[in-house]
């Protein structure tokens, strides 16, 4: 005679206020070229938005990251967008 197997399903309610998203440390990318800065942030699990140029500035200097928000060293949730601005190495705009 066949036997019956009992199955039990357990549901657990998770309170979203007690769960934490993974946090990562923001790398300091100031002084990096825009493409490299974006690579570093992506590797850390972050996103980037960059304003300004990526080639050469008005005086011929390379465009590099000059501003970053939030700043390097801060802890943020994985996937956070970091806002970057560029300027020419040695001063000036891109």
Q: Which H, E and C letters describe the chain, residue by residue?
A: CCCCCCCCCCCCCCCHHHCCCCEEECCCCCCCCHHHHHHHHHHCCCEEEEECCCCECCCCCEEEEEEEECCCCCEEECCCEEEEEEEECCCCCC
pLDDT value at 52 more than 70? yes
| pTM recorded for the entire structure | 0.75
Confidence of residue 47 (pLDDT cuts 50, 70, 90): very high
Over 70: is that where the pLDDT of 73 sits? yes
Q: Note the pLDDT of residue 1.
A: 59
Whether residue 5 is predicted with pLDDT greater than 70 in this model: the reply is: no
**What percentage of residues in the chain have a pLDDT greater than 70?**
78
């Amino acid at each position: 005679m066949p036997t019956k197997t009992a199955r039990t399903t357990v549901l657990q309610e998770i309170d979203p206020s007690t769960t934490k998203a993974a946090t990562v440390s923001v790398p300091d990318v100031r002084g990096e070229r825009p493409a490299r800065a974006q690579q570093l942030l992506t590797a850390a699990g972050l996103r980037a938005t960059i304003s300004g140029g990526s080639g050469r500035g008005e005086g011929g200097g390379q465009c590099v990251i000059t501003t970053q928000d939030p700043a390097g060293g801060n802890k943020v949730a994985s996937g956070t967008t970091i806002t970057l601005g560029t300027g020419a190495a040695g001063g000036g705009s891109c």
